[in-house]
Amino acid sequence: MQEDHAADPSALTPVQLAVLQSVAPDWRHDPYRSYAVLREAGPFIPGPLGTRLVPGYHEANLIMQNPDWSHAEESELLHPDSDVELPGSFLWMEPPDHTRLRGLVSKAFTMRTIEGLRGRTEQVVADLFDKLLAEGGDHPVDILEALAYPLPLTMVCELLGVPAEAHDEVRQMSAGIARGLDPDVLLSPAELAARTAAVHRFRDFFGDLIAQRRKAPQDDLITRLVRAEADGATMSPTELLGTLLILVVAGHETTVNLIGNGVLALIRDPDQFALLKSNPDLAVAAADEVLRYDAPVHLTTRTARTEITVSDQVFAPGEAVIVLFGSANRDPRAFPEPDRFDITRYAAGNRANRHLSFGLGLHYCIGAPLARLEMEMALRAIATRVAAFDLPHDPPPYRPNLVVRGMSELLVRVTPEEPTR
């Protein structure tokens, strides 16, 4: 049953209105004013589904790093009436299963391994910019379609060993599942049905690919995971599918939003764009600032496994919180001038607090090095190949997604940089 979000705003307190706006699709383009109200109201705010919202950096930091807060109950909390089970991923597990499965995957995402993908990532970005700039001129280009979608999709599919002709199909499955990560009460019957269909298709598609790799191994991550399963019986078929699901959805959908959000932030702040152009090596720091300033994932849940006290608030076992990454990353108690986009904030020598967009603790994002590399390469190309941006419509339209927040399109006129002679 869907919640009724048509409450009379005039009958709500400012905090109640901010809670409503933080989940309402009409406010997806700018949730940050609502987040500011929530932070001022206190460290824990009564939220939907019997939870408490956590809008501040300090409390979010404490919760994310404390293993007594579990992530395993998220599916039951957000999707209690789901008619299809998402395959079991280590994302929603606790030790020892989480440790076992994450250990099998982590070797593919070490800094050293990802650095080996730098040349290929740079080439994919260069090819996409060649096409983007050729098709642009006086006509607006959708940056999401031209760059933000194909870059991470290509990289994660190549890493896994998905054939090029199937990349678009993987994108469609990923989009249906990502929308379905939102609480069921916020999804229409059509969206619930689309999630079910996407999960079934995912199981069929990757089940077939796994079977192919068992018969004919390749030099890809699916083959390595299949071999790990066979050698040590350490990963069940369901766990293997669940691991692939989180790698595809997290490795694709979140980076799409990261790239889109970064381009939008640079367009809106010409001084920062000029600074990046004057020093493309700031791309590394700029990637982290985009992650802080406009996070691609805005929330996660945690459930108390035992009695826990956080900032004088006692949580009984089974009580759940919703940690608002997007709000914590804009907390003025943690970040000076938090609403200012500053690509030098994370530059070498500066001592900024780490953002929470990749999480913390046990569930720190395993794909963070790849996402950073993709964003760095995209920003370097922007710095060296784009002379100017023009945004015909601001704000651009946003998808209704709450958990994985991003635009539905970003139409931009792009003026290419004149080649040096």
Q: Is residue 317 part of a domain?
A: yes
Looking up tokens 């994932």, which residue turns up?
Answer: 297
Q: Is residue 314 part of a domain?
A: yes
Burial of 70 (0-12, 13-18, 19+ CB in 10 A): buried
Report phi then psi at 395, rounded to 5: -80, 150
Q: Is residue 2 part of a domain?
A: no
Strand partners, 46: 52
The pLDDT, as a whole number, for residue 365 is 86
The pLDDT, as a whole number, for residue 363 is 82
Q: Provide the domain limits for residue 354.
A: 9-416
The pLDDT, as a whole number, for residue 4 is 44
Q: Is residue 1 part of a domain?
A: no
Query: Kindly report the CA angle at 22 between 16 and 23, in degrees rounded to 5?
Result: 105
Q: Is residue 3 part of a domain?
A: no
The amino acid sitting at 122 is: E
CATH of the domain at 377: 1.10.630.10
d(CA 14, CA 20): 10
The pLDDT, as a whole number, for residue 230 is 47
Q: Is residue 4 part of a domain?
A: no
The pLDDT, as a whole number, for residue 60 is 98
The pLDDT, as a whole number, for residue 332 is 98
Structurally, the chain folds into a number of domains equal to 1
pLDDT averaged per 10 residues in sequence order, the chain, 421 residues: 48 79 82 94 92 97 95 81 59 71 79 91 98 86 97 96 96 90 88 90 95 94 79 70 87 93 98 98 98 95 96 96 96 98 93 93 86 97 96 94 93 88 51
Q: Is residue 272 part of a domain?
A: yes
